[in-house]
Amino acid sequence: MMRSLRPAHLKPIHVVGGGLSGSEAAWQIARRGVPVVLHEMRPDRSTAVHKSGQFAELVCSNSFRSDDAEGSAIGLLHAEMRRLGSLVMRAADTHKLPAGGALAVDREGFAAAITAAIEGAPLIDIRREEILEPPADWDSVIIATGPLTSPALADTIRALTGETALAFFDAIAPIVHRDSIDFDITWFQSRYDKAGPAGSGADYINCPLTRAQYEDFVDALLAGEKIAFHDFEATPYFDGCLPIEVMAERGRETLRHGPMKPFGLTDPHRPAAKPYAVVQLRQDNKLGTLFNMVGFQTKLKHGEQVSIFRTIPGLAKAEFARLGGLHRNTFIDSPKLLDATLRLKAMPRFRFAGQITGCEGYVESAAIGLLAGRFAAAERLDERPLLPPPSTAHGALIGHITGGHIETIESGPHSFQPMNINFGLFPPLGGGTTRAAKKQVFCARALADLDAWISAAGAHAAE
Ligand SMILES: Cc1cc2nc3c(=O)[nH]c(=O)nc-3n(C[C@H](O)[C@H](O)[C@H](O)COP(=O)(O)OP(=O)(O)OC[C@H]3O[C@@H](n4cnc5c(N)ncnc54)[C@H](O)[C@@H]3O)c2cc1C
């Protein structure tokens, strides 16, 4: 329920961006009785993909993905958000369409419902303007301007954060769940057993290919269907992050002398047989549950990626936490720059929310907006912001953003990459059960821990 009296003694919190995350953040702040000013540049100034002036416009698909709260990480996130009074989930449930196990929404009805709720909230003051640089007297600001943040504000953020680059032509390699990799075929070893600054000498999972397997793999890459670029993505490739299929086009041996080189590695299962090529996977999160395919950025269609990558020895049953892609995006190096409650360490009056923090997707962006709004409101009310338990979907997601990612040996601006919610981000369970059974235990544990957190945080959380 929304509190309606404007507490005269409270300064407003400024939310910049009325997308999925900014709308949810503003809503959460207002429902705590704290005034908000929501700044949105549309419709006067738009992005390359938004079409309307509505809040929370869905720019592409109308799906919030699986709604299964007992067996899918995204369905669990839906369930948690409902329990936390999410405006985005309320509007999605009201405007849902038939879509099997997925939650798909009527995009017009959805955005109209969010817009009406925000416009009708007495504590939310809407300003239709582009923010170039938040003024110094705004003491609490949430920046939720998304993957297509306006260039002028992106410049300001670059200066605030000291980032050299902010809008990337993102090269994304697929990420695989470790427990779906076959260790009777693969093995742990770093090239030439080098430990490096933070390694053990056995930091990579290696998948060996014979010459015939390599030739078949190159053929499959060349034949595979690719995704076309959007017009607004007319940004050149950096030579350091060429898609694997582009490398394969440059010559049949190129990959074998690039990301698939077999040198400095010995297969302990067949020590006498030298592999012709090797695919390496590198740990991607602190928990050690996720591994990324090194150098495997690709624009192959998702279905093609799954079938082609499962021909790699050791990956026949690979489950992917994320598939590869290449697109323009704007996000900050959150693990380095943000504290546990999403504040900029160097300038805590700024918080970040949504896709700009390094989550991916409508629902994840709204969930991080929800948390940013709760944290900012708690702070304004002189309360200590309570972090969600790491076993919940909210906790797992914010953990990835503010600390779960590990810097890799070849760390650099591309090391931290946006990610959808997935079970690889959750603290692992004991072994012994099937993947399907584990998912159910993850979900049950998360909802029980969320309820305990809501009780600890006070009655407002569940209103
Ligand atoms: C081409 C494309 C396709 C996508 N397809 C999907 C998909 O199918 N499914 C999915 O789950 N996710 C998809 N995404 C990701 C999706 O955009 C995000 O998940 C989600 O919209 C992010 O929410 P957000 O609130 O962080 O940003 P947004 O929803 O983009 O909201 C940011 C808001 O900030 C405003 N803004 C920007 N700069 C300023 C400024 N300086 N001052 C004031 N306002 C400003 C913008 O107008 C916008 O309203 C896609 C992204 C892109 C770019």
Asked whether 285 lines ligand 1 (CB < 6 A), one says no
Q: What share of the chain is helix, strand, coil (3-state, %, to 5)?
A: 35, 15, 50
The pLDDT value given to residue 132:
97
Asked whether 365 lines ligand 1 (CB < 6 A), one says yes
Q: Which atom of ligand 1 is nearest to the CA of 17?
A: 34
Asked whether the beta carbons of 273 and 267 are under 8 A apart, the reply is yes
Residue 105 host element (H or E): strand 102-105
* Reported pTM: 0.80
Residues of the chain short of pLDDT 50, as ranges, are: 1, 3-5, 231-238, 407-414, 459-463
Cβ burial, residue 234 (10 Å; 0-12/13-18/19+): exposed
Q: How far is the CA of 146 from the centre of ligand 1 (A)?
A: 4
The pLDDT value given to residue 165:
61
SS3 51: coil
Query: Phi/psi at 443 (nearest 5 deg)?
Result: -70, -45
Asked whether the beta carbons of 180 and 318 are under 8 A apart, the reply is yes
Asked whether 354 lines ligand 1 (CB < 6 A), one says yes
Among 14, 351, 362, 401, the mutation site with the greatest number of ligand 1 atoms within 8 A of its Cβ is 362
Asked whether 259 lines ligand 1 (CB < 6 A), one says no
Asked whether 59 lines ligand 1 (CB < 6 A), one says yes
The pLDDT value given to residue 327:
64
Asked whether 88 lines ligand 1 (CB < 6 A), one says no
- For residue 172, give Cα distances in angstroms to 13, 242, 397: 34, 10, 18
Q: How far is the CA of 415 from the centre of ligand 1 (A)?
A: 22
Report the DSSP pairing between strands 204-209 and 187-188.
antiparallel
Asked whether 15 lines ligand 1 (CB < 6 A), one says no
The per-residue pLDDT for range 268-306, each reduced to its tens digit, is: 999 999 999 999 998 877 788 989 898 898 889 999 999
The pLDDT value given to residue 14:
98
Comparing CA positions, the residue from 336, 328, 322 lying closest to residue 364 is 322
